[in-house]
């Protein structure tokens, strides 16, 4: 559309450039010439991300503590803090400078929120949670809820194990809408810096997610799951507890991970196996009924040959 | 139970009719006669839906703007609007006639909500979202949250792409509890009229869902996913991004859709294949260990025959 | 770490005991001797659960009805009830003794909450829901939302079936964060006593979950699903509607259950089959491409033998 800016990050779309009606296109430095206005960048996708910011208006407009917000005893607020209407902050919290909390959030007691972090509306941050700087927590997320821990008592009934640990979310993490991060029974659940978590993700108690990883929507980590750095778990991936996923691992969508995965692997399927093997097996899977028939036919032919031979 | 009304939509339950203690049964016009009080209808299930309404009492009882609700600047409210206790509505919103917003909701700025729509408690509607008429949004849903978009910067770290687009929800849509609908990075995420979305569903940024489709619980659409009209995605189905699912497609539960699906297909499995093929392959799957053994035995027998033959 | 208490429930970790720096270890009565301070118990895991309670401080500190809480008409409150800031309770509710409701919750009308139950912040309890004693509902959960029920009308469009039933949650149940429990169209959705439900679980309308069962994170029950006693559904398991899962069934992670499962079984895969069969088939799955090749080779060799033989 005229007046619009767009980008080409993938060479396979290059031929569509001449059809665009956009006023300018961001392309890589090696991109071929076309009779179109180009903005050349080392990384067109990243440059597009930066360009978009010029047009974007943040929804954060009001400052100060709304008169209907409730702030607990001994809670300290930094400078330029915004706390939205009807938000409730517990006792003994520490809210850093420029923190922005939207309306209808509930912050329990003893919570720390680092400088310039943003908590969107209707979130809950449970007691003793520690949140770093420039963290973004999206609407409806709950951080620090009880882990799912039960021991069987003498009567064979599930007995609740108190979840006495906490959650630590490091700097520059993003937590998606309606995502749930459980606190540990003992010790802590930890999300390391720069990691981005999408919507409706479940982080079980005592899990650790390394730096700069991506957890896409509806991923679930069972508990005491250790995820490395630069890992990508695609949508709906599940990982069992008490296992380690190495650095740079990629798990494709819906993968189920029942045991540890070494670094630098791409895995798929349930139980997760090497992606290349899985792709070939998944293609062969459709031919299973045909394979069954062929095995039966071969069996008959071999039997016939054997009968002839021993006649 | 005496005094109760029930229905038979499926002929296979016809024989149970004589055992019922209900006072009346809704059946199709072609249903056989039994010594029971029948109400005959073209479509017994639909007639039952209508009959149920006679007995149902909506939870919407209070009118007006609750004194604890907070309404932003320049926000215009239609007639007969209800806004519940502690709900916060931002600036520059437009709330249509007869809209009913339950307590503890957060509506950001520049939001439009069409006539007679209902927003249940503890929902968030983010900035610039447009909601049509007679839409129902269930408790805890978040509409218009940031899409999950990141570009790698020079240091190899994920850099947030501002999500500058919006969400448009058309007339007569229903959005389930704790479902999340992300707004687009640019342009819009769109839910077309009459589409019904269940609980805990994730709609990724820039996706479009066509008219009169059903997305069952825990479905996930990755982003820039285009879903056609009259589509049914059963529970826990996942679809990757940048693909098209044609009109009238049915995906059975837990299906994973990695690439486009043409119209009118029923698909299953991951990666999604034709349902009939998948059903046969799934049955054969259990026999894999047995197949492996049989192949090994055949191998030995063929080897033996070859040895005999060349002797 | 000195001053710490830990436990050994599994004999395979016994050899690590001598390396611990903890001040005491809880072990079973049959555990071998080591030069470490032991606390012996019949069930070390259960004893650990009890010991942890000595160190745990509950976040529930304030009593009474917060002045910003809103209580509906004719609603009766027991003794020692706590209702947090900005929580809204509808008309005609009955709140038992020692109930603790955290801030920003919305309780619709005609709700019953039994003695000593705890509702964490930002939850919604819909109209006519009945909650038993000592129930814990975690943050952001919604109980009693509309079931996902639609009938096609004459025009082929989805017509909403009013969901006129209710939800009953029995004593000592726990409901996880952001979990959704739908009320029935008619009759009730029922969670029986002692059952523990994790985060982001979907319970479809008209389902029944028996006593003392565990539903792990992101499990989904479609609707009119009947789950027995002492069942364990691991993470991301899905079950279709109108089926029965017998007592003591275990479904491993990501299992998809399309039809009824008899009691005492362990099932896996989609469609769910016996776990032992599934495990063997899953191992064979990786060898599918190799099997295809071997079948092709056998085919050629048999053909060659046949040609030789009939020559």
Of the pLDDT bands very low, low, confident and very high (cuts 50, 70, 90), residue C63 is confident
Of the candidates B200, B291, B305, the beta carbon closest to that of A305 is on: B305
Mean pLDDT of A194-200: 98
Is the CB of residue A124 less than 8 Å away from at least one CB of chain B? no
Paired with C273 in beta bridges are C268
For C17, the 3-state DSSP assignment is helix
More confident residue, B70 or A50: B70
Does residue A278 contact residue A268 with C-beta atoms inside 8 Å? yes
Report whether pLDDT(C145) > 70. yes
Q: What does the pLDDT look like over C168-186, one tens digit per residue?
A: 999 999 999 999 999 999 9
Does residue A165 contact residue A189 with C-beta atoms inside 8 Å? yes
A169 to A107, A113, A174, A183, A208: CA distances (angstroms): 15, 9, 9, 11, 10
With the C-alpha atoms ordered B90, B91, B92, B98, is the resulting torsion angle positive or negative?
positive
CA distance C46 to A223: 18
CA distance C47 to C40: 9
Q: What does the pLDDT look like over A267-308, one tens digit per residue?
A: 999 999 999 999 999 999 999 999 999 999 999 999 999 888
Is the CB of residue A153 less than 8 Å away from at least one CB of chain C? yes
Is the CB of residue B85 less than 8 Å away from at least one CB of chain C? yes
Of the candidates A88, A148, A153, the beta carbon closest to that of C216 is on: A148
Does residue A196 have a cis peptide bond before it, meaning omega lies within 30 degrees of 0? no
Mean pLDDT of C6-26: 67
Of the pLDDT bands very low, low, confident and very high (cuts 50, 70, 90), residue C39 is confident
Does C205 participate in catalysis according to the annotation? yes
The percentage of chain A sitting over the pLDDT mark of 70, rounded to a whole number, equals 91
- Decide if C140 and B178 are in contact by the 8 Å CB cutoff: yes
Q: What does the pLDDT look like over C68-111, one tens digit per residue?
A: 999 999 999 999 999 999 999 999 999 999 999 999 999 999 99
Residues on chain C touching A305 (C-beta within 8 angstroms): 302, 305-306, 309
How far is B122 from chain A, CA to nearest CA, in Å? 7
CA distance C29 to A91: 43
- Decide if B295 and A299 are in contact by the 8 Å CB cutoff: no
C69 to C60, C65, C101, C103: CA distances (angstroms): 16, 7, 10, 8
Q: What does the pLDDT look like over B72-106, one tens digit per residue?
A: 999 999 999 999 999 999 999 999 999 999 999 99
Report whether pLDDT(C137) > 60. yes
Report whether pLDDT(C311) > 70. no
Report whether pLDDT(A3) > 70. no
Of the pLDDT bands very low, low, confident and very high (cuts 50, 70, 90), residue C33 is confident
Q: Do β-strands C243-245 and C256-257 pair in parallel, antiparallel, or remain unpaired?
A: unpaired
Task: State the catalytic residue, choosing from C15, C80, C205, C242.
Answer: C205
Is the CB of residue A270 less than 8 Å away from at least one CB of chain C? yes
Q: Do β-strands A64-65 and A38-41 pair in parallel, antiparallel, or remain unpaired?
A: unpaired
A111 to A77, A106, A218, B269: CA distances (angstroms): 12, 11, 26, 44
Interface test with C, best of B42, B88, B199 (most C CBs within 10 A): B199
C263-283 core/surface letters (b: 16 or more CB in 10 A; e: else): eebbbbbbbbbbbebbebbbe
Report whether pLDDT(A161) > 80. yes
Report whether pLDDT(A95) > 90. yes
Residues on chain A touching B182 (C-beta within 8 angstroms): 177, 199
- Decide if C253 and A222 are in contact by the 8 Å CB cutoff: yes
The percentage of chain A sitting over the pLDDT mark of 90, rounded to a whole number, equals 77
Please state, as a whole number, how many other Cβ atoms lie within 10 Å of the Cβ of residue A310.
Answer: 7
What is the full per-residue pLDDT of chain B (311 aa) written as tens digits? 555 666 666 666 666 666 666 667 777 777 777 767 777 777 878 888 888 888 777 777 667 999 999 999 999 999 999 999 999 999 999 999 999 999 999 999 999 999 999 999 999 999 999 999 999 999 999 999 999 999 999 899 999 999 999 999 999 999 999 999 999 999 999 999 999 999 999 999 999 999 999 999 999 999 999 999 999 999 999 999 999 999 999 999 999 999 999 999 999 999 999 999 999 999 999 999 999 999 999 999 999 998 887 76
Report whether pLDDT(C57) > 60. yes
List the one residue out of A281, A293, A269, A222 whose CA is nearest residue C270.
A269
B182: left (phi over 0), alpha (psi -120 to 50) or beta: beta
CA distance B253 to B276: 14
More confident residue, C225 or A46: C225
Residues on chain C touching A88 (C-beta within 8 angstroms): 84-86, 103-104, 121
Q: What is the pLDDT of residue A8?
A: 65
Task: Nearest chain A residue to B183 by CA: give it.
Answer: A177
Residues on chain A touching B162 (C-beta within 8 angstroms): 49, 52-53, 56
Q: What does the pLDDT look like over A164-186, one tens digit per residue?
A: 999 999 999 999 999 999 999 99
Paired with A268 in beta bridges are A273
Q: Which helix (H) or strand (E) holds A117?
A: none
Is the CB of residue B86 less than 8 Å away from at least one CB of chain A? yes
Interface test with B, best of A50, A217, A290, A299 (most B CBs within 10 A): A217
Q: Which residues of A are catalytic?
A: 205
Interface test with C, best of B13, B63, B122, B135 (most C CBs within 10 A): B122
Residues on chain C touching A68 (C-beta within 8 angstroms): 68, 86
Report whether pLDDT(C12) > 80. no
Is the CB of residue C148 less than 8 Å away from at least one CB of chain B? yes
How far is C58 from chain B, CA to nearest CA, in Å? 25
Residues on chain C touching A238 (C-beta within 8 angstroms): 218, 235-236, 253-254
Q: What is the pLDDT of residue A41?
A: 78
Residues on chain C touching A122 (C-beta within 8 angstroms): 104, 122, 140
Q: Following DSSP, what letter does each residue of C24-68 receive, concatenated?
A: EEEEETTPPP-SS-EEEESSHHHHHHHHHHHH---S----SB-TT
CA distance B176 to A273: 35
Please state, as a whole number, how many other Cβ atoms lie within 10 Å of the Cβ of residue A58.
Answer: 10
- Counts of helices then strands in chain A (DSSP H, E): 3, 36
Q: What does the pLDDT look like over A209-220, one tens digit per residue?
A: 999 999 999 999
Whole-prediction pTM value? Answer: 0.93
Is the CB of residue A139 less than 8 Å away from at least one CB of chain C? no
Instruction: Give the count of alpha carbons within 13 A of B186, CB side only.
Output: 13
Is the CB of residue C75 less than 8 Å away from at least one CB of chain A? no
Q: What does the pLDDT look like over A232-271, one tens digit per residue?
A: 999 999 999 999 999 999 999 999 999 999 999 999 999 9
- Decide if C122 and A127 are in contact by the 8 Å CB cutoff: no
Is the CB of residue C51 less than 8 Å away from at least one CB of chain A? no
Q: Following DSSP, what letter does each residue of chain B receive, concatenated?
A: -TT-EEE--SGGGGGGGGG---SEEEEETTPPP-SS-EEEESSHHHHHHHHHHHH---S----SB-TT-EE-TT-EE-TT-EE-TT-EE-TT-EE-TT-EE-TT-EE-SS-EE-TT-EE-TT-EE-TT-EE-TT-EE-TT-EEEEPP--EEE-TTS-EEEPP---EEEE-TT-EE-TT-EEEPPSSSEEEE-TT-EE-TT-EE-TT-EE-TT-EE-TT-EE-SSEEE-TT-EE-TT-EE-SSEEE-TT-EE-TT-EE-S-B-TT-EEETTTTEEHHHHHHHHHHHTTHHHHHHHHHHHHHHHHHHHHHHH-
Q: What is the pLDDT of residue A40?
A: 77
Mean pLDDT of A4-30: 68
Q: What is the pLDDT of residue B7?
A: 67
Q: How far is CA A90 from the centre of its chain?
A: 28
Residues on chain A touching C68 (C-beta within 8 angstroms): 68, 70, 86
Is the CB of residue B308 less than 8 Å away from at least one CB of chain A? yes
Is the CB of residue B225 less than 8 Å away from at least one CB of chain A? no
Q: In C108-153, where do the E strands start and end?
A: 112-113, 118-119, 124-125, 130-131, 136-137, 142-145, 150-152
For A230, the 3-state DSSP assignment is coil
Q: Do β-strands C188-191 and C166-169 pair in parallel, antiparallel, or remain unpaired?
A: parallel
Mean pLDDT of A143-156: 95
Report whether pLDDT(C302) > 80. yes
């Amino acid at each position: 559309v005229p007046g619009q800016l767009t980008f080409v990050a993938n060479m396979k779309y290059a031929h569509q450039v001449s059809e665009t009606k956009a006023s300018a296109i961001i392309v890589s430095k090696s991109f071929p010439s076309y009779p179109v206005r180009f903005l050349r960048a080392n990384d067109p996708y990243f440059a597009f991300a930066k360009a978009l910011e010029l047009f974007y208006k943040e929804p954060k407009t009001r400052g100060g503590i709304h008169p209907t917000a409730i702030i607990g005893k001994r809670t300290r607020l930094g400078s330029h803090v915004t706390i939205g209407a009807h938000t409730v902050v517990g006792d003994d919290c520490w809210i850093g400078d420029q923190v922005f909390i939207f309306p209808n959030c509930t912050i329990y007691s003893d919570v720390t929120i680092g400088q310039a972090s943003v908590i969107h509306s209707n979130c809950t941050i449970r007691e003793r949670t520690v949140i770093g700087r420039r963290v973004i927590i999206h609407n409806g997320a709950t951080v620090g809820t009880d882990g799912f821990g039960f021991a069987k008592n003498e009567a064979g009934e599930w007995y609740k194990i108190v979840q006495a640990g906490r959650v630590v979310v490091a700097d520059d993490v993003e937590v998606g809408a309606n995502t749930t991060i459980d606190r540990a029974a003992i010790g802590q659940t930890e999300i390391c810096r720069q990691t981005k978590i999408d919507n409706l993700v479940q982080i079980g108690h005592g899990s650790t997610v390394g730096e700069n990883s991506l957890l896409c929507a509806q991923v679930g980590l069972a508990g005491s799951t250790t995820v490395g750095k630069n890992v990508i778990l695609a949508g709906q991936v599940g990982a069992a507890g008490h296992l380690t996923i190495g650095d740079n691992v990629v798990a494709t969508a819906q993968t189920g991970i029942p045991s540890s995965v070494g670094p630098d692997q791409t895995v798929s399927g349930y139980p997760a196996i090497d992606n290349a093997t899985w792709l070939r097996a998944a293609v062969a899977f459709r031919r299973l009924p045909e394979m069954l028939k062929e095995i039966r036919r071969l069996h008959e032919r071999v039997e016939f040959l054997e009968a002839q031979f021993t006649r």
